[in-house]
Amino acid sequence: MLEQTRRLALGALASLALVACGGAGSGPAAGDGQVTSGQDGASQDMVMGSPEAPVTLIEYASWTCGACLQFHNDVMPMLKSEYLDTGKVRLVFREFPTAPHNVSVAGFAIARCAGPDAYFDVIEELFERQSAVLSLVRSGGQVKQALVQISMNQGVGNEAALDACLQDESIRRAISTAIGRGDAMGVNATPTLFLDGEKLEGFKWRSADGMREVLDEALGETVESSDTGANDG
């Protein structure tokens, strides 16, 4: 079902350049069409935070998912400033494409082609443009041209470069690997997070305050009730 659709989307990656995104021009744009595919590490996990952090979060998410956008906007700024940048938490981000699967996979391919140093910059722009891109999908608009613009903004290149990116076997394999890991861990919705290997249940962690509470507990930083003054006399 959902898993099969994602796998079909991966298999169709090569044809995205010509058809699946729709609304494309008849030929590549002028330019060198340079692409950085990250071939020396395309299949590696994309990570934020110190490798020495005592706590590891694994996030399975899709940039075309509304709940993922909410998490990205409401929780990620706090998570980054208070836990990732301070060395307390390490975040492993893994792609888990959701509908429209071909568009979702194409966006993740751009992020992979930008390379590890720019990966999260692309993810940021993809989330920022989620509403606009999905509106184009619904209206039959120029979806591919929107992806080309993101590709150019992030230094991946023009339409020819995007086509090359979508056909890069190492990039397709990297996204497939991320999906396979999610399937193996029982992921069936996005976002899904694992804290030191344990799936976060419920919804508390989908707010900044709730995530802060979860992480502080994992880090042993939960504020205990003070006994001061309990035995005054």
In a domain, 49, yes or no: yes
CA-to-CA distance for 222 and 217, rounded, in angstroms?
5
The percent helix, strand, coil of the chain (3-state, each to 5) is 50, 10, 40
Range of the domain at 113: 2-16+41-215
In a domain, 226, yes or no: no
Work out the mean pLDDT of the chain and round it to a whole number: 83
Judged against a pLDDT cut of 70, whether residue 46 lies above it is answered with: yes
Higher pLDDT, 25 or 6: 6
**CATH (domain of 147):** 3.40.30.10
Q: What percent of the chain has pLDDT over 90?
A: 74
In a domain, 174, yes or no: yes
In a domain, 233, yes or no: no
Judged against a pLDDT cut of 70, whether residue 156 lies above it is answered with: yes
CA-to-CA distance for 202 and 216, rounded, in angstroms?
17
pLDDT digit string (tens) for 56-86?
A: 999 999 999 999 999 999 999 999 999 999 9
- Number of domains, the chain: 1
Q: Where residue 25 falls among pLDDT bands split at 50, 70, 90? A: very low
Lowest mean pLDDT among 3-12, 20-29, 98-107, 208-217: 20-29
Judged against a pLDDT cut of 50, whether residue 17 lies above it is answered with: no
